[in-house]
Amino acid sequence: MGGGNAQKSKMAREKNLEKAKNAAKGSQLETNKKAMTIQVIFFFFALFCCLLLTFNSFKMQCKVCMQTFICTTSEVKCREHAEAKHPKSDVYACFPHLKK
């Protein structure tokens, strides 16, 4: 019967199509996984950069003697440093960030 053969080959074709679909799905999943990994890496990299930037912005440095101060150093301490170490210099010359 020709019809039976056609039916068989149709089924075979559908099976192959299914296989190809599944393979595509698998590779798609693989691609998604890779993309996700890259995203995660990128996310942590961005986070790290952010932290670094934040840390650097908190780190104060006297522009006159290049002494660094930890982020908890208050404005008062900066002024004290400027007055004690650089009485001839303006406090803003030491710590430009104090100028608002």
What is the C-alpha to C-alpha distance for residues 79 and 73, in angstroms, rounded to an integer? 10
For Zn ion, which residue of 35, 41, 65, 71 counts as binding (CB under 5 A)? 65
What is the C-alpha to C-alpha distance for residues 69 and 18, in angstroms, rounded to an integer? 66
What is the C-alpha to C-alpha distance for residues 81 and 36, in angstroms, rounded to an integer? 49
Q: Is residue 78 a contact point for Zn ion (CB under 5 A)?
A: no
Q: Which stretch binds Zn ion (CB under 5 A): 31-39, 41-49, 50-58, 83-91?
A: 83-91
Q: Is residue 85 a contact point for Zn ion (CB under 5 A)?
A: yes
Q: Which stretch binds Zn ion (CB under 5 A): 5-13, 28-36, 47-55, 85-93?
A: 85-93
Q: What DSSP element (H or E) covers 20?
A: helix 2-58
Q: Is residue 93 a contact point for Zn ion (CB under 5 A)?
A: no
